[in-house]
Amino acid sequence: MSAPLSAGFIPLVDAAPLVIAREIGFAEEEGLALDLRPAASWATLRDMVSHGQVEAAHMLAPMPVASALGLGGAGVRLDVLQVLSVNGNAIGVSTALAEVMRAAGHSFDFADAAAAGRALLAARPEGLRIGVPFPFSGHAELLYHWLGALGFAVPQALSVHTVPPPLMADALAAGEVDAFCVGAPWGTLAVESGAGELLLPGTAIRRFAPEKVLAVRHDWADAEPELTGRLMRAIWRANRWLGQPQNRTTASEILARSAYLDTPAELIERALSGRLIVSQKGDMRTVPRYLEFFEGAATFPWRSTGALIADRIAARTGLDRPAAQAEGRRVFRSDLYRHHLARTTADMPGASERLEGALAEDAPVASPSGRLTLAADSFFDGFIFDPQRKT
């Protein structure tokens, strides 16, 4: 008899590993009866995990780190078991703001982060109101890095509004925000509804940015090692399945169901393939690795990723940065990943930390098979984070 296990999610394309683990049967193969429960907001989802209403969750990568730093309101230690998705975000602007930027000569090439940032700031010299799904999110981290690198005073001069992803287009149309950074398919829906245009994919800021993670309470993972391992293996197999292009149509049709995204399958498939409509005119851009689930060691929970997130949060909030980095490292459980996935064919890097942002091109890395390649993960401004360097 399968063991019951509940997991929360937000209706986003990058919740796909949880959905596919249930619907394709990977959870059942591991002896799990996976019960998926949608949440209306990231704060609600955080509370569901923290209060034991679900055992696991599809979660923003910075949320467990912020919790470990005493920020974000969780109140309990949350651990990252593995990465669910890399990239997948888009930055959009209101239709009115797009017209101002275009009149000033911006080409909307959907690739040049520096030019797009300068054009955006020039179009709103009085200040920028921008929507993100949660204050401690990959969306916020991308924005702070992008605008900060261009000389914008962040976070002081940036008015950040928390808007649930399904409501982002409405907030833009109502004039509550000038711009947004959100995950698929909600950026595309803002274009489809006529509320805005897409300015940049997140990959233009950082080419390979861990976005969503599989998070659980630390005490639950300690108390339930068998269930933890079953869940991790089921999700890893779902990620591997999602990484195969021939499965995109099936994945889109499953995710489109009313129990999950309740959104046209065509819009979901665009996100999975990186083919994005960026304006009401129907202009399309193809973005390599717009949303990645498996290739390039996408699922590995690098301890250096936790350290980088913690360092950036600490720098903005005035916390001790070395102490914060240590907390961030502890949250990303590469040890559990190695232990519980040892019985799979998962090819793991020899180290659990790396120079974040150092790869301008895909590169081979030491692994048991000798065939593992890490994806290029550089930042647009050349920033590199060394987790061993003293701040």
pLDDT tens digits for range 291-341: 999 999 999 999 999 999 999 999 999 999 999 999 999 999 999 999 999
Instruction: Label residue 155 by pLDDT band (50, 70, 90).
Output: confident
The yes-or-no verdict on residue 97 having pLDDT over 80 is yes
Spell out the alpha helix ranges (H) of the chain: 16-23, 26-29, 42-50, 62-68, 95-103, 113-123, 138-149, 168-173, 186-192, 218-223, 225-242, 248-255, 265-273, 303-317, 321-331, 334-340
What is the distance, to the nearest Å, from the Cα of residue 182 to the centroid of all Cα atoms in its chain? 9
Amino acid at 176: E
What is the overall mean pLDDT for the chain?
95
Give per-residue pLDDT as tens, 55-68.
999 999 999 999 99
Query: With a threshold of 0.75, does the pTM exceed it?
Result: yes
Lowest-confidence pick of 244-258, 317-331, 358-372: 358-372
Q: How far apart are CA 18 and CA 89, in angstroms?
A: 19
Give dist(CA 305, CA 322) in Å, integer: 14
Give me the pLDDT at residue 368, please: 86
pLDDT of 74 higher than 90:
no
Find the range with the poorest average confidence among 25-39, 158-172, 319-333. Answer: 158-172
- Mean pLDDT for the stretch of residues 335-354: 95
The owner of tokens 């991308």 is 142
pLDDT value at residue 5:
98
pLDDT recorded at residue 371: 87
Per-residue pLDDT for 80 more than 90?
yes
155 prior amide bond cis, ω within 30: yes
Structure confidence at residue 123 as a pLDDT band (50, 70, 90): very high
Q: Is 204 within 8 Å of 142 (Cβ atoms)?
A: no
Predicted pLDDT of residue 156: 76
- Do you find a cis peptide bond into 245, omega within 30 degrees of 0? no
Quick one: average pLDDT of 16-35? 98
Q: What would the mean pLDDT of 98-109 be, rounded to a whole number?
A: 96
Q: Is the pLDDT of residue 217 over 80?
A: yes
CB under 8 A, 24+ apart: contacts of 265-268: 267/185, 267/188, 267/189, 267/192, 268/13, 268/184, 268/185
Q: 3-state DSSP call for residue 315?
A: helix
CA atoms within 13 Å, Cβ hemisphere of 205: 27
pLDDT above 90 covers a percentage of the chain that reads: 92
